Amino acid sequence: MLTILGAVAATILPLFNISFMLRIRRRKSSNDISLVWTYGIFFCTLAMLPAALLSPDATFKVFGIANFILFSGVVYHVAKYRKAT
């Protein structure tokens, strides 16, 4: 039961990045989003990805892959909609 719940949560959690990307696109600005936070999270997910790929735990593997792919989209949107100040 806990394994199934964990797998569902691991699949759903990264999907919140989609609404974040859509909000950035709709506003056409990402100036209120910290670059340190954005790249910090990105490099953490990048560092975690090899462990997720090699793990026999399907929940961790699904979360690691989905989070890396979708947060890469967040990084792209933050960089694309960043306005010089």
Give the global pTM: 0.87
- Indicate if the pLDDT at residue 84 is higher than 80: no
Domains by residue range for the chain, with CATH: 2-80 (1.20.1280)
Cβ atoms of residues 63 and 13 within 8 Å: yes
pLDDT band at 52 (very low <50, low <70, confident <90, very high): very high
Residue 69 CA to residue 46 CA, distance in Å, equals: 10
Task: Give the model's pLDDT for residue 10.
Answer: 87
